[in-house]
Amino acid sequence: MSLTLRPHIAGMPPYRAGRSPKPGPDGRAWKVSSNENPYGPLPGVLEAVARSLEEMNRYPDAGNTEMTSALATRHGLDEERLAFGTGSVEVLAHLLEATCGPGDEVVYAWRSFEAYPLAVQVLGARSVQVPLTATGEHDLDAMRAAITPRTRAVMVCTPNNPTGPAIPHDDLVTFLESVPDDILVIVDEAYVEYVNDPCATRGLELLDVHPGVVSLRTFSKAYGLAALRVGWMAAADTEIARAVRSVTMPFAISSPAQVAVLASLEAEPELIGRVRVTIHERDRIAEELRRLGHRIPATQGNFVWFPAGELTHVWFDAFREAGLMTRAFAGEGLRVSIAEPDANDRILEVAGTLLR
Ligand SMILES: *Cc1c(COP(=O)(O)O)cnc(C)c1O
């Protein structure tokens, strides 16, 4: 007799990470496929990590005590509302694990973050994907209409990966007021640091609007700690945070990762400086692309979306030939991360040839 996999696990495709670039004609190459921060660790981070490595014989602090108190203080939140994971993707998985089982429904917009369908499927729950509008935005009315008595969770992604728009704060408040109180609502704010539209969602303020709201954050993007894997959440309901802490493996977050987070939080001025550069570059690229005739959606993340449709693979190849590894979604479009200014100039050069 051979081992039997559970049916919903047997059918699961693996997560596809962004591929590495191949050098362009001038030998230069950029990976603009994973929305990573192009800049290295913030000041003080490497030193703190190096110091912590001297104690690698010791287990990390299982309670994430210092990170908890640093973030609670910084955002004015009760510590009981917080929970951490090895990346916000793990926190998301645990939130769903705590609330959803086989046959339960999870409503989210599509296309959105590729980790969502996998996180739902692994539980044997059912994804209810609500198409984005023509401009790449969440259709909150359609999402509300998709909620049934079987719905256990709703996920929104703002700014939306891969299309870019942020959900207007007031629209999300209205939506939440219509969602039953016993439904979990995950507000994935992986790119919140890059938002400069004052009307965009401010997730932490939503904790007062609906008892099931969770704001999901990461140190992988603006803070540049993607390899160290730290994500966190703030919940309206301390019971939700407690549940996530309970199902998370003890010692999940390593000591080097914990000290890297603390040192990064202390490097606030430098963080703000480089986030400003990325925002400036994003807005420059978006404006220039529109001038070239590209119909790109509004973007509040560190990336732009080309709705290339049937031309997606052709445009992907054009970028790749120039040394730019982008992220392609067959038949839909390309996501290109904002990187160093010279990479961004190369993006514009290629984009200028695509509509001829
Ligand atoms: C990159 C990203 C994350 C972050 O994932 P980590 O596990 O924290 O690295 C979360 N949500 C979205 C939408 C993302 O694009």
Q: Which atom of ligand 1 is nearest to the CA of 157?
A: 13
Share of the chain above pLDDT 90, in %: 92
Element (H, E) at 220: none
- Which pLDDT score, from 0 to 100, does residue 18 have? 66
293-316 per-position pLDDT tens digit: 999 999 999 999 999 999 999 999
Share of the chain above pLDDT 70, in %: 99
Segment 179-201 shows an average pLDDT of 98
Q: Which atom of ligand 1 is nearest to the CA of 226?
A: 9
**Residue bearing the CA closest to ligand 1, atom 1:** 190
Q: Which of 265, 315, 322 has the alpha carbon at shortest distance from 289?
A: 315
Number of residues that this document lists for the chain? 356
Q: CB under 8 Å to 73, separation ≥6 — which residues?
A: none
Segment 100-111 shows an average pLDDT of 97
**Residue 301 contacts residue 161 (beta carbons within 8 Å):** yes
Q: Which of 67, 160, 221, 228 to mutate to test the pocket of ligand 1 (most atoms within 8 A of CB)?
A: 221
Pocket of ligand 1 from Cβ distances under 6 Å: 35, 87-89, 113, 157, 161, 188, 190, 218, 220-221, 226, 231
**Residue bearing the CA closest to ligand 1, atom 10:** 190
For ligand 1, the distance from its centroid to the CA atom of residue 211, given in whole angstroms, is 23
Q: Which two tokens stand for residue 315?
A: 């445009």
**Residue 104 contacts residue 242 (beta carbons within 8 Å):** no
Look up the CATH number of domain 45-266: 3.40.640.10
Q: Which of 172, 159, 313 has the alpha carbon at shortest distance from 221?
A: 159
For ligand 1, the distance from its centroid to the CA atom of residue 126, given in whole angstroms, is 21
Q: Which atom of ligand 1 is nearest to the CA of 230?
A: 8
**Residue bearing the CA closest to ligand 1, atom 2:** 190
Residue 207 — pLDDT band, cuts 50, 70, 90?
Answer: very high
For ligand 1, the distance from its centroid to the CA atom of residue 351, given in whole angstroms, is 26
For ligand 1, the distance from its centroid to the CA atom of residue 208, given in whole angstroms, is 24
Asked if CATH classification 3.40.50.10420 holds for the domain at 30-35+269-354, the reply, yes or no, is: no
Threshold 0.85, pTM exceeds: yes
**Residue bearing the CA closest to ligand 1, atom 3:** 190
For the chain, what are the domain ranges? 30-35+269-354, 45-266
**Residue 256 contacts residue 227 (beta carbons within 8 Å):** no
Residue 8 — pLDDT band, cuts 50, 70, 90?
Answer: confident
**Cis peptide upstream of residue 6 (ω within 30 degrees of 0):** no
**Residue 154 contacts residue 185 (beta carbons within 8 Å):** yes
Residue type at 275 in one-letter notation = V
**Residue 151 contacts residue 199 (beta carbons within 8 Å):** no
Segment 253-260 shows an average pLDDT of 98
Question: Is 243 a residue whose pLDDT tops 80?
Answer: yes
Q: Which of 95, 113, 229 to mutate to test the pocket of ligand 1 (most atoms within 8 A of CB)?
A: 113
**Residue bearing the CA closest to ligand 1, atom 11:** 190
Q: CB under 8 Å to 35, separation ≥6 — which residues?
A: 161, 191, 221, 301, 302, 303, 335, 337
